[in-house]
Chain A
């Protein structure tokens, strides 16, 4: 019973991180590091809530969140792809910008009740399966969407030709260029797609888990998503595992406190980052790096005909 409730809560808490992490995987697979996830999540959270507040329809809110996240990431794309700016600085600027902009624009919305939200939506039949039903199929609509997205992206990245181009542009943009494909166009597409997913991750908070708007409501989950990309070694299925692990740690610590155990919540909170650090250390070795397929051109601007 305890295990079921922890796992169900883990998935609920992990959904927002999962969307953002999947988005960042697309972006980094294309060779662009976007540290603006937190800002894009906040813009998605605000746009999603504002639209739902105005229209009463959370699905329109989700669409608005996609658009807002995409729009913000377009700034990053413009700076880093067209202007070859430093990706770290631009991403950080995006996080600060998103935080400030949403705080400013969201002021009139603070404290307003959500007219509609994504509530728990048990799937008839599936929800009745013992153990799995309560864990997987008594969640909200956005969570179901994330279930579908994980295999879809996995298939796209590893089993389709456009997915091959995606991996190639992050690995060796010069090769993609030589094939006659536009490095810039590919990168633009995936940076914006990544931003859209981050925006949707924000909406998973403002429309599903915590309906409403409060300033800085993502509270650092964008940064967790970025750390998770490395943890997941740029693989969507492992991203799901990682996101639910983070969610599970969050869910578990309170239940352990209730059970009277003395495991420190600080220790539990630290664990996923420990794995991230281990992966980072391993990734410094060339053989391991190849096996986990870290995009070789990640973070490097592409200049045609320049020798690297």
Chain B
């Protein structure tokens, strides 16, 4: 029955097939370096032309990604940041490894591998890399580590995140003006503080420009499933929503809105190319500015461990160009708000300044006081503001 010879032959073939599918990624993709199947790292093609600077040796910068660079969302945005870093600084050499699992064994192996290869700065771009990053950092005191979205630091480990709620709030201001049914939909991934904070900021914006409007929330319990996210949006549209916002990594919800001739607000990157008639705007990440600053500091020797939480003012977050379907007066209103955030006159704390009621209508934040950073970032962010319809599953 079972022929061991053919089984061995198959294993050989399978190995060949698998290694073939991992290896060719360095070719003509235009994005530069990629991972070989054995976990080693090929440097990106950034050295085009000898480094112009007088410093001589290039700073080696590595990135660890949780998803594929082709996800059109979170990881894509980080990789855009990496590419911007290469363009901004000439004496920099970058490498990345994508789809690295968040389990301690894999993540630590990958990070350690980068450190051993002599990379000067290592960015780890997902929450789950927190402990692995700190662990590896202990053994490489001269290497700088930056962990995105976590809270553990060390002498050579910084944390960094951005106030995406600021552009979310402005996108809410626009959405509130564009709804006719006074019902908006929000396709949300997981009931965690980060997502809840975004829903609240968006709803505060919506209610500011349209006090009658309500925001219906559904949870998909996935970051990445185009068809499921679209289904969630369809359900919201069936309930009468005419603007669909999202905290998801694919444009599925925007496509659902487009198919019905209604509107949407994207996320992560400008999603208008997927649904040009629907996307009013998208809150976007702009990691390039931050990455460039960090590497500049390292090169100048001024880098210090910090807990970075950048806002619009710092250029980490932004709003994609507002669509032409938005009337001129609404655009002007939005642009004026954008200017206030960019100048620092407004920030995430002014958004979350009272009086703010919770879902039941009871006052949660008294007039004049603002939520603290801790109240915004920690598990205390487990309530919805007034105007949100939906529940937080515990």
Instruction: Write out the residue numbers on chain A whose beta carbons fall within 8 Å of the beta carbon of B234.
Output: 9, 251, 254
Q: Interface size class for chain A? A: 35 or more
Instruction: Write out the residue numbers on chain A whose beta carbons fall within 8 Å of the beta carbon of B391.
Output: 257, 260, 262
Q: Which residue of B lies closest to A251 (CB)?
A: B231
Chain B CB within 8 A of A107 CB? yes
Inter-chain contact A219/B227, CB cutoff 8 Å: yes
Within 8 A of B (CB), among A61-98: 75, 79, 83-86, 89-90, 93, 96-97
Q: Which of A20-28, A167-175, A206-214, A234-242 faces chain B?
A: A206-214
Beyond A9-B234, A13-B231, A258-B216, is A85–B250 a contact (Cβ under 8 Å)?
no
Inter-chain contact A214/B70, CB cutoff 8 Å: yes
Beyond A86-B10, A205-B227, is A300–B273 a contact (Cβ under 8 Å)?
no
Instruction: Write out the residue numbers on chain A whose beta carbons fall within 8 Å of the beta carbon of B221.
Output: 265-266
- Closest Cβ–Cβ distance, residue B186 to chain A (whole Å): 11
Within 8 A of B (CB), among A258-308: 258, 260, 262, 264-266, 300-301, 306, 308
Chain B CB within 8 A of A187 CB? no
- What is the bound-complex CA distance between A86 and B10, given in angstroms? 7
Chain B CB within 8 A of A5 CB? yes
Instruction: Write out the residue numbers on chain B whose beta carbons fall within 8 Å of the beta carbon of A266.
Output: 221
Chain B CB within 8 A of A54 CB? no
Chain B CB within 8 A of A151 CB? no
Inter-chain contact A219/B224, CB cutoff 8 Å: yes
- What is the bound-complex CA distance between A293 and B382, given in angstroms? 52
Within 8 A of A (CB), among B7-37: 7, 9-11, 13-14, 17-18, 20-22, 24-25, 29-31
Q: Which residue of B lies closest to A94 (CB)?
A: B17
Inter-chain contact A214/B273, CB cutoff 8 Å: no
Question: At the interface, is chain B mostly helix, strand, loop or mixed?
Answer: helix
Chain A CB within 8 A of B3 CB? yes
Q: Which of B251-259, B289-297, B304-312 faces chain A?
A: B251-259
Chain A CB within 8 A of B336 CB? no
Beyond A210-B230, A217-B226, is A258–B218 a contact (Cβ under 8 Å)?
yes
Q: Which residue of B lies closest to A300 (CB)?
A: B1
- Closest Cβ–Cβ distance, residue B36 to chain A (whole Å): 12
Chain B CB within 8 A of A130 CB? no
Residues 111-147 of chain A: 1 if any B CB is under 8 Å from the residue's CB, otherwise 0? 1110000011000000000000000000000000000
Instruction: Write out the residue numbers on chain A whose beta carbons fall within 8 Å of the beta carbon of B68.
Output: 103, 215-216
Inter-chain contact B227/A214, CB cutoff 8 Å: no
Beyond A85-B10, A257-B390, is A110–B231 a contact (Cβ under 8 Å)?
no
A-B contact pairs, 18 of them (CB 8 A): A2-B238, A79-B13, A83-B10, A84-B3, A93-B13, A97-B18, A104-B21, A107-B31, A111-B72, A209-B230, A212-B251, A212-B274, A214-B71, A215-B70, A219-B225, A221-B227, A251-B235, A254-B236
- Chain A residues with CB under 8 Å of chain B are 2, 5, 9, 13, 16, 75, 79, 83-86, 89-90, 93, 96-97, 99-101, 103-104, 106-108, 110-113, 119-120, 205, 209-212, 214-217, 219-221, 250-251, 254-255, 257-258, 260, 262, 264-266, 300-301, 306, 308
- Chain B residues with CB under 8 Å of chain A are 1, 3, 6-7, 9-11, 13-14, 17-18, 20-22, 24-25, 29-31, 68-72, 76, 216, 218-222, 224-228, 230-232, 234-236, 238-239, 250-252, 255, 259, 269, 273-274, 276, 390-391, 393
